[in-house]
């Protein structure tokens, strides 16, 4: 099976964008559309969005990087710009650590990268079989409503939720339209709860390879984080900069882990300035 994707823009350097867990690439259209003004953007749909894929196929996130590298083989664009949010950031970073010759530059947007003590703690949790019980996001994924009859009502309901407070109406509308697929009775979430939970519980525990590999990274690296993120902490940013002194970290104010959806223009501007300086 060829890996599904969409593309925007037909000129400029190739830029490959990878989405977060639970957030199909269509959710990022405001950002991707801006990027397509200067780059040929490819947005791959990761394994949880493939037809007939099964969550039990993965025990960690390494197969998702295998998928990405196969996607690059399928498209043969030459050296590219890798951009990824959250899960997509880690998949992209691991691909660059494995095969750096494929990348001109890396942009990681609030990547799911935690310090070693969190990694070691999660290894213990996993060994005890407690991942589904202890991961803080699993319960929310399980209890989230997955069927909808009307996207306008969904938009209005989400508009009142504090988690979306930094998204303006066009961004929230893009998010709502991006998460919804046609269902038997209206719409359903494109991203299944089983896959979302599986991504959560298979995260982190294999990530010491990233910390070991970072000092050898010689690709221009930009990390964009939300000032109020609960994922890519300021202390983690400082640790990355000790490993990769040439890297750049940009913190967007009044932003959370969802910073590329909340502030697409600011994120685009940070990416564009970085690429103009480094390419």
Average the pLDDT over 13-31 and give the result: 97
Q: What's the chain look like in SS3?
A: CCCCEEEECCCCCEEEEECCCCCCHHHHHHHHHHHCCCCEEEEECCHHHCCCCCHHHCCCCHHHHHHHHHHHHHHCCCCEEEEEECHHHHHHHHHHHHCHHHEEEEEEECCCCCCHHHHHHHHHHHHCCCHHHHCCCHHHHHHCCCEECCHHHHHHHHHCCHHHCCCCHHHHHHHHHHHEEEECCEEEECCCHHHHHHHHHCCCCCCHHHHHHHHHCCCCEEEEEECCCCCCCHHHHHHHHHHCCCCEEEEECCCCCCHHHHCHHHHHHHHHHHHHHHC
Cβ(27)–Cβ(18) below 8 Å: no
Long-range contacts from 154-163, C-beta under 8 angstroms, 24+ separation: 154/180, 154/187, 163/256, 163/258
pLDDT of the residue at 67 = 98
- Number of domains observed in the structure of the chain: 1
- Phi, psi dihedral angles at 57 (to 5 degrees): -65, -25
> Does residue 194 have a pLDDT over 90?
yes
pLDDT of the residue at 10 = 85
- The whole domain housing 139 covers 5-278
pLDDT of the residue at 184 = 81
Cβ(14)–Cβ(40) below 8 Å: yes
User: Comparing C-alpha atoms, which of 80, 91, 86 is closest to residue 219?
Assistant: 80
First to last CA, the chain: 34
Predicted confidence band at 190 (pLDDT cuts at 50, 70, 90)?
A: very high
**Which residue in the block uniquely carries the two structure tokens 């600011």?**
266
Cβ(40)–Cβ(9) below 8 Å: yes
**Which residue in the block uniquely carries the two structure tokens 């400082």?**
238
Average the pLDDT over 58-62 and give the result: 98
pLDDT tens digits along 23-34: 999 999 999 999
Residue 262 CA, chain-centre distance (Å), reads: 14
pLDDT tens digits along 251-278: 999 999 999 999 999 999 999 999 999 9
> Does residue 145 have a pLDDT over 90?
no
Predicted confidence band at 185 (pLDDT cuts at 50, 70, 90)?
A: confident
- Residues facing 8 on adjacent strands: 41
CATH number at residue 16: 3.40.50.1820
- Reading the block at residue 256, the tokens are 């959370």
pLDDT tens digits along 86-144: 999 999 999 999 999 999 999 999 999 999 999 999 999 999 999 999 999 999 999 88
Query: What is the number of other CB atoms lying within 10 angstroms of the CB of residue 239?
Result: 17
How many residues does this entry show for the chain? 279
Average the pLDDT over 39-58 and give the result: 96
How far is residue 8's CA from residue 21's CA, in Å, rounded to a whole number? 22
Question: Mean pLDDT for the chain?
Answer: 96
């Amino acid at each position: 099976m060829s890996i599904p994707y969409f593309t925007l823009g037909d000129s400029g350097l190739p830029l490959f964008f990878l989405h977060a867990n639970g957030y199909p690439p269509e959710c990022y259209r405001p950002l991707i559309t801006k990027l397509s003004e200067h780059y040929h953007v490819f947005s791959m749909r990761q394994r949880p969005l493939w037809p007939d894929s099964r969550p039990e196929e993965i025990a960690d996130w390494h197969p998702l990087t295998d998928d990405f590298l196969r996607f690059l083989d399928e498209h043969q664009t030459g050296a590219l710009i890798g951009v990824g949010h959250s899960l997509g950031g880690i998949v992209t970073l691991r691909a660059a650590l494995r095969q750096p010759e494929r990348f001109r530059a890396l942009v990681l947007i609030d990547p799911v990268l935690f310090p070693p003590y969190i990694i070691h703690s999660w290894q213990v949790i996993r060994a005890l079989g407690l991942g589904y019980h202890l991961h803080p996001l699993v319960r929310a994924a399980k209890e989230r409503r997955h069927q909808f009859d009307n996207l306008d009502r969904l938009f209005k309901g989400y508009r009142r939720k504090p988690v979306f407070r930094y998204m303006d109406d066009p961004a929230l509308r893009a998010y709502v339209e991006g998460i919804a697929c046609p269902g038997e009775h209206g719409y359903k979430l494109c991203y299944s709860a089983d896959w979302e939970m599986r991504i959560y519980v298979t995260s982190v525990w294999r990530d010491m390879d990233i910390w070991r590999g970072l000092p050898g990274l010689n690709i221009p690296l930009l990390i964009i984080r939300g000032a109020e993120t609960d994922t890519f902490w300021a202390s983690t940013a400082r640790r990355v900069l000790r490993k990769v002194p040439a890297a750049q970290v940009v913190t967007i104010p009044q932003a959370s882990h969802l910073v590329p959806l909340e502030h697409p223009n600011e994120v685009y501007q940070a990416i564009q300035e970085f690429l103009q300086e480094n390419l």
